[in-house]
Structure 1
Amino acid sequence: MAGGGINRRVSAASARSHTRKSNRKSSSSGLLKKLFLVSLVGLLAWAYQATRPPPPKICGTPNGPPITAPRIKLNDGRHLAYKEHGVPKEKAQYKFVYVHGFDSCRNHAVVAHFLSPETVESLGIYIVAIDRSGYGESDPNPKREVKSIASDVEEFADKLGLGEKFYLVGFSMGGQAVWSCLKYIPHRLAGATLLAPVVNYWWSGLPANLSAEAYNKQLQRDRWALRVAHHAPWLTYWWNTQKLFPILSVIDHLPEIFSRQDKEIVEQFAGMEDSSPVKQQGEYESLHRDLVVGFGKWEFDPTEVTNPFPNKEGSVHLWQGDEDILVPVTLQRHIAEKLPWIQYHEVVGAGHLFPYAKGMSETIIKTQLYLEN
């Protein structure tokens, strides 16, 4: 009996010890779960904030940059800034709208800067360069898409008084505007010129093998950046501001993106400080939104655009350097083959910056005008 009592007391003590251990384990497990949940919530909150771009610093607002350029107010309240070149608009025989490329603005209208005064005066050329939405001093457009670019150009031309028809020139990413206008407002164009227009690798009209081959020749960092812009546009800001992986080479100003001729041109302008306020309203509203629109899902396929001048009352020209590293010449050749109404000009030995080469601006503008007279 005594032995049985001792055993019962030992069993009770053992049970109490086991209960305390179980309670400690349960408490420890509950604490770990709470720590995990808190960490997860914190990580998600950080990720959410990291992917959200800061609000733009809109020109003319209390905390924004000053307004220094003339601007046109659009019907939705946004403003487009511009810069005029050439003869007075009222006396011009030919009126051009110039649309700049990536990481650029109205101050970089290459065809305007390099035209000789004699050509401008003798032909009566007027060129107005605009800041695309979010660039320079043009208000951001949170609803920007390919189609809206054509609407902006048309409304701008009307409010500036360019007349029933005008010429359009787009360089690099500015090619978005030209393709958009050829699709949606061809009746407003007297002619159009595409200078090394950026090609979206996901256009359905491009053969998959050709597009894949050109895409795979891009730098690995660029392939990833463009994948993000196309498949996960909401991550574009984070991807191009984080420090874990290499960002888009153009944003990073990597020398590898330049061809032999490009490097010569860059060296030619070395030391000439450029204080243009390209990204002053925020990189997201300028550079990153450009990537999302340019490499996102387009509302139409440029390779299926119909001839805007069936009666040969105007012409469309596409210029491309055969050594362009940024825009593959193979894709440009295919587009020219699919759209035989485009006058295709391939510049031998030229890179992406060929419009800056000596004499090219004269050639580009005169080709546009002379082939129509």
Structure 2
Amino acid sequence: MLVMGIWRNWTKEALAFGLDKQSKIRKSGMNKMVGETSIGIDEVRTYKEITLLLLIGLVAWIYRAIQPPPPNICGSTDGAPITANRIKLRDGRYLAYKEHGVAKETAKHKLIFVHGFASCRHDEALVSQLPLEVVEELGIYSVSFDRPGYGESDPHPKQTLKILALDIQELADQLRLGSKFYLVGYSMGGHAVWSCLKYIPHRLAGATLVAPVVNYWWPGFPANLSKEAYHLQLPQDQWTLRVAHYMPFLVYWWNTQNFFPASAVVSGRPEIFCPQDLRLLPKMAYRQNHQGVATQQGVYESLHRDMRIGFGKWEFDPLDLDNPFPNNEGSVQLWMGDEDRFVPVILQRYIAKRLPWIKYNELAGAGHLFAYADGMSEAITRALLKGHN
């Protein structure tokens, strides 16, 4: 009995000890599992926080990368000094200009010249190229100006085609050019001529477009024709135009990044020049005298904004314009080289067909720089003034 009692007590104690041990083991295991679960949750939270921080950092980097720097306004602390004659516009901006030809007071004909891409007021390619005797014979005065953001003209952060036309009108008024004046736009300056034909046709005595850049997305172009012309551009220029049209907020980044080829036009690649252009390039040597002036306020406010406006969505379709001179009191001229590699000639031919009131002049073997060929500035000027001399 005693033995049985001892056995019974030992068994109970052993059983109790075992149960207690198992309980402790279970508790220990549970605590370990809880600890591991807690660590797992903390790790997930950490990963999420790191991912979120990386995402925020990436967004911040992208935002900074696509934001253009502020312009270096001429006359400001960080800007270039003011050297040009300027007028103050209705909204407080300043517009720089340069005069050419005979004195304004004695001129028989007064003309405003609009420069092209990456150019400025010094690049007047018409009257300044004429022999002095021709200038005096014609009695012609010309004023060229820096388009907003170029040279010494203040940029306009909300520049539109209409605003540019009104700037030109105000320039004419402040310089007292009279109720009517002639207008010539070269290359990218052509969109200023189209805008004036739209918004201030009553102020024009005549207008000339010289190798004008076109917008491939003008609604009036047949889709197959604009597509054909678009693909005549070099691939890098096609991409540059796509960005300017569809994603204008990326224009600055696209033209300053190093991942993809830059625009051939901006970089001046030799393949964009036809044989005649290459022969005429030495005549452009005068530009060395004012190298850097065009973009001295920043490439975004000059080159890039030009792209956004020129190849963005237009406020109107030039192919819907009416003849501003129904009684032949003036004319609209369009001059184009058939070997121009900057602007496909097939689109200019369509414009001339669609708008028969435009006097179309196509030059065989000519490129984009034909205005600098011998005798061309005189031919263009006389054609514009024909019947008014």
TM norm. shorter chain > 0.5: yes
Match of 1:189 among 181, 192, 204: 204
State the one-letter code of the partner of 2:56.
V
TM-score normalised to the size of structure 2? 0.93
State the one-letter code of the partner of 1:286.
S
Instruction: Name the CA distance, whole Å, in 2 between partners of 1:228 and 1:274.
Output: 33
Match of 2:39 among 10, 24, 33: 24
Aligned residues: 373
Instruction: Name the CA distance, whole Å, in 2 between partners of 1:110 and 1:281.
Output: 23
Q: CA deviation at 1:316?
A: 0.5
Match of 1:258 among 264, 268, 273: 273
Match of 1:297 among 313, 321, 332: 313
Alignment of 1:1-373 (within 5 A): 1=15, 2-269=17-284, 273-276=288-291, 277-372=293-388
Contact 2:123–2:287 (Cα < 8 Å) also in 1: no
Instruction: Name the CA distance, whole Å, in 2 between partners of 1:262 and 1:6.
Output: 97
SS at match of 2:80: coil
State the one-letter code of the partner of 1:364.
I
Instruction: Name the CA distance, whole Å, in 2 between partners of 1:167 and 1:201.
Output: 27
SS at match of 1:364: helix
State the one-letter code of the partner of 1:283.
V
Instruction: Name the CA distance, whole Å, in 2 between partners of 1:288 and 1:339.
Output: 30
Contact 1:318–1:345 (Cα < 8 Å) also in 2: yes
Q: CA deviation at 1:319?
A: 0.5
How big is the alpha-carbon RMSD for the aligned residues of Structure 1 and Structure 2?
Answer: 1.4
Instruction: Name the CA distance, whole Å, in 2 between partners of 1:371 and 1:87.
Output: 20
Q: CA deviation at 1:85?
A: 0.7
Contact 1:226–1:295 (Cα < 8 Å) also in 2: yes
Instruction: Name the CA distance, whole Å, in 2 between partners of 1:342 and 1:271.
Output: 32
Q: CA deviation at 1:272?
A: 6.6
SS at match of 2:288: coil
Return closer, same or farther for 1:197/1:271 CA change in 2, 3 Å cut-off: closer
Contact 2:101–2:128 (Cα < 8 Å) also in 1: no
Contact 2:207–2:331 (Cα < 8 Å) also in 1: yes
State the one-letter code of the partner of 1:366.
R
Return closer, same or farther for 1:153/1:272 CA change in 2, 3 Å cut-off: closer
Instruction: Name the CA distance, whole Å, in 2 between partners of 1:23 and 1:143.
Output: 55
Identity, % of aligned positions? 57
Return closer, same or farther for 1:12/1:253 CA change in 2, 3 Å cut-off: same
Instruction: Name the CA distance, whole Å, in 1 between partners of 2:44 and 2:239.
Output: 40
Return closer, same or farther for 1:270/1:160 CA change in 2, 3 Å cut-off: closer
Structure 1 residue aligned with 2:3: none
Q: CA deviation at 1:9?
A: 3.2
Contact 1:315–1:371 (Cα < 8 Å) also in 2: no
Instruction: Name the CA distance, whole Å, in 2 between partners of 1:227 and 1:121.
Output: 46
Q: Which runs of no fewer than 5 residues in structure 1 stay unpaired?
A: none
Instruction: Name the CA distance, whole Å, in 2 between partners of 1:244 and 1:46.
Output: 16
Instruction: Name the CA distance, whole Å, in 2 between partners of 1:268 and 1:293.
Output: 29
TM-score normalised to the size of structure 1? 0.97
Contact 2:127–2:135 (Cα < 8 Å) also in 1: no
Return closer, same or farther for 1:77/1:363 CA change in 2, 3 Å cut-off: same
Q: CA deviation at 1:352?
A: 0.9
What per-residue deviation string (whole Å, max 9, x for no partner) do you get for residues 153-175 of structure 1?
A: 00110000100111000001100
Instruction: Name the CA distance, whole Å, in 2 between partners of 1:199 and 1:248.
Output: 17
